[in-house]
Amino acid sequence: MTWVNIIIQGILVGGLYALFAAGLSLIFGVMRLVNIAHGDLIVAVAYLAWVIVQVTGLHPLLSLILVVPTAMGFGYALQMGILNRTLGRDILPPLLVTFGLSVIIQNGLLSIFTADSRKLNAGTLEIASFTALPGVNIGYLPLLQFVVAIAVIMGLQYLFYRTALGRAFRATSDDSDTAQLMGLDRRRVFAWAMALCLGVVAIAGVFLGVRANFDPAIGPGRLIFGFEAVIIGGLGNLWGTLAGGVILGVAQAIGAHINPGWQVLAGHLVFLLVLAVRPRGLFPRMDG
Amino acid sequence: MSEMLLSVENLEAWYGDAKVLHGVSFELNKGEVLALIGANGAGKSTLLKCICGQLPKKTGRIAFKGEDIHKLVANDVVRKGIAMVPEGRRLFPSLSVEENLLLGGQVKRPGPWNLQAIYGLFPILKEKCDAPSTSLSGGQQQMVAIGRGLMSNPDLILLDELSLGLAPIVIKDIYALLPCIVGNGLTAILVEQDVTRALASAQQFLCVQEGRISLAGAPDAFTKDQVSAAYFGM
């Protein structure tokens, strides 16, 4: 039963990794931008939530009502103000600019909040659990996190394939010059994509902050987990991204059980294995 | 009474440092079809790209319904009522047939064209509305491209190389429908390699040679030899 428990806990953590990855995948899909600052944005949002919780006394999960729109507005402005200027035929400028952004966010957080680690306190929800099977206890918080991850992916999937905005995303991703001929302003389409990405980042950041301690330096690590989930699942496939997150989570849980020092290593090894055997990921998009 | 829709004055355009158009001027009346003929590389497609806002590096004046549009970018030009059916069709591969058409209607200008009207014109597209646009034959893809252009209910439609890469019988079918497309007062500029077909479909023509207009007027005002001479620059 121990192994069942480990795998279930791994699956639930995988939901968080899928949340890290979904925004990354979305941005790469729409504008071929690899956002090096993605992990730092997640951490920055966790701090934003922390400030809101301190000031308003809201429950961290309720703070999402304020955190999500704020993050989306920031994403829109970031794309319109900075990132759109870097996008062109050369993929290097956006890479360098988001790398710079990553450094700025880390140091900005460090100077405002110091290197002390913080945590979002979700009260009794953090320890509440139920017994699913004898010896298998499932925490409400990890379960909620996993359900939210599925809901986010379903929502993105719906938006991409059933709405006019999703159509605009796909058309701009296919051929942005021709999309312009249809009246789509690619700068605005990209800005909406970044706003959406930051909305997902906001949810990921709050769950990150509730689950564990965070400090200004942990962003790049979250970026790696996000990347690994995207690559394992296959680029451009949102359900694949969820599967990638789950595989990463389970690998880490198994590694941690064997030896606590192997938690992160086990995830990296599975990622390397997938990359070596199936370089396009386990569930690549058919037309990709 | 003919009303002027488009007026191009002394248009010069560049790709990087290479000058492609050297002072092109012409006028187009509402409801007319203008054929743009000329050899490969003469500047026909460039002229269309200037009008629809895809080529930023240009000087001169492009007036559409009396308004200077030469500084507008493509996504603003389409809102003014100019639709482009680009060379090579350029459908969006990850969108279905219907989604491609809907995207053309994104700008929501009022007018006769909507999904039903497009399906009325090209019934085969209704059967294939959920198919990926890449799964269609070349002729069907061209129908989607034309339909996508019409969906914005333009006042002027730019048709770039409609027959490129299509079988002769398919080309014939598409040209047979041209009167239905431009029938209700729509103005069109037609770029075409097949000179005879282009001239037969148009009320006016321009022959472009090395970035300059070498001959212009009504197709029946000139002999075949005069057109050939202008076409080849003899």
Instruction: Name chain A contacts of B106, Cβ cutoff 8 Å.
Output: 164, 168, 182-184
| pLDDT at B190 (0 to 100) | 95
Angle, helices A164-174 vs B97-104, to 10°: value is: 100
Alpha carbon distance B154, B104 (integer Å) = 10
Angle in degrees, CA A279, A241, B91, rounded to 5: 80
DSSP A126: G
Alpha carbon distance A140, A156 (integer Å) = 24
For chain A, strand residue ranges (E) read 129-133, 136-139
Which H/E stretch holds residue A97? helix A92-113
Decide if pLDDT at B135 tops 80: yes
B102 and chain A in contact, CB less than 8 A: yes
Q: Are B107 and A164 inside 8 Å of each other by CB?
A: no
**Cβ burial A242-260 (10 Å sphere, 16+ → b, else e):** bbbbbbbbbbbbbbbbeee
Mean pLDDT of chain A: 94
From the list A164, A174, A180, the residue facing B73 with the nearest CB is: A180
Decide if pLDDT at B218 tops 80: yes
Can you tell me the mean pLDDT for A225-233? Answer: 94
From the list B78, B94, B132, the residue facing A182 with the nearest CB is: B78
| pLDDT at B1 (0 to 100) | 53
Decide if pLDDT at A243 tops 90: yes
Q: Are A287 and B99 inside 8 Å of each other by CB?
A: no
| pLDDT at A2 (0 to 100) | 87
| Tokens found for residue B163 | 């027959």
Confidence of residue B234 (pLDDT cuts 50, 70, 90): confident
| Tokens found for residue B215 | 């001959």
Beta bridge partners of B68: B63
Strand B4-15 relative to strand B18-29, pairing? antiparallel
CA distances (Å), B38 to each of A154, A182, A234, B19, B134, in order?
52, 27, 47, 17, 30
Query: CB neighbours of A259 closer than 8 A, spacing ≥ 6?
Result: none
| Tokens found for residue B89 | 């069709």
| C-beta of residue B81 within 8 angstroms of C-beta of residue B65 | yes
Alpha carbon distance A191, A197 (integer Å) = 10
From the list B52, B53, B94, the residue facing A174 with the nearest CB is: B94
pTM comes to 0.92
B135 and chain A in contact, CB less than 8 A: no
Decide if pLDDT at A214 tops 90: yes
Decide if pLDDT at A45 tops 70: yes
Instruction: Name chain B contacts of A236, Cβ cutoff 8 Å.
Output: none
Instruction: Name chain B contacts of A164, Cβ cutoff 8 Å.
Output: 102, 106
Q: Are A183 and B95 inside 8 Å of each other by CB?
A: no
If you measure CA to CA, which chain B residue comes closest to A182? B104
Alpha carbon distance A10, B180 (integer Å) = 62
* Shortest CA gap A190–chain B (Å): 14
Q: Which residues of A touch B (CB under 8 A)?
A: 164, 167-168, 170-171, 173-175, 177-186, 287
* Shortest CA gap A161–chain B (Å): 9
Q: Which residue has the higher pLDDT, B144 or A236?
A: B144
Can you tell me the mean pLDDT for B75-96? Answer: 95
B55 and chain A in contact, CB less than 8 A: no
Decide if pLDDT at B138 tops 90: yes
Q: Which residue has the higher pLDDT, A285 or B201?
A: B201
DSSP A118: B
| pLDDT at B108 (0 to 100) | 87
Mean pLDDT of chain B: 93
Instruction: Name chain A contacts of B154, Cβ cutoff 8 Å.
Output: none
Strand B82-85 relative to strand B67-68, pairing? unpaired
Alpha carbon distance A121, B133 (integer Å) = 51
pLDDT digits (tens, 9 = 90+) for A60-118: 999 999 999 999 999 999 999 999 999 988 889 999 999 999 999 999 999 999 999 99
User: For residue A201, which amino acid is it?
Assistant: V
In percent, how much of chain B has pLDDT > 90? 79
If you measure CA to CA, which chain B residue comes closest to A186? B75
| pLDDT at A288 (0 to 100) | 37
Q: Are A173 and B152 inside 8 Å of each other by CB?
A: no
* Shortest CA gap B183–chain A (Å): 23
In order, the DSSP letters of chain B are: ---EEEEEEEEEEEETTEEEEEEEEEEEETT-EEEEE--TTSSHHHHHHHHHT----EEEEEEETTEE-TT--HHHHHHHTEEEE-TT----TTSBHHHHHHHHGGG---SS-SHHHHHHH-HHHHHTTTSBGGGS-HHHHHHHHHHHHHTT--SEEEEE-TTTT--HHHHHHHHHTHHHHHTTS-EEEEE-S-HHHHHHH-SEEEEEETTEEEEEE-GGGS-HHHHHHHHHT-
Confidence of residue B11 (pLDDT cuts 50, 70, 90): very high
Alpha carbon distance B143, B126 (integer Å) = 11
pLDDT digits (tens, 9 = 90+) for A115-170: 999 999 998 998 899 998 888 899 999 999 999 999 999 999 999 999 999 999 99
Query: CB neighbours of A100 closer than 8 A, spacing ≥ 6?
Result: none
B78 and chain A in contact, CB less than 8 A: yes
Q: Are B86 and A168 inside 8 Å of each other by CB?
A: no
Can you tell me the mean pLDDT for A210-224? Answer: 95
* Shortest CA gap B80–chain A (Å): 10
Instruction: Name chain B contacts of A180, Cβ cutoff 8 Å.
Output: 53-54, 73-75
Q: Are A183 and B84 inside 8 Å of each other by CB?
A: no
From the list A164, A170, A180, the residue facing B74 with the nearest CB is: A180
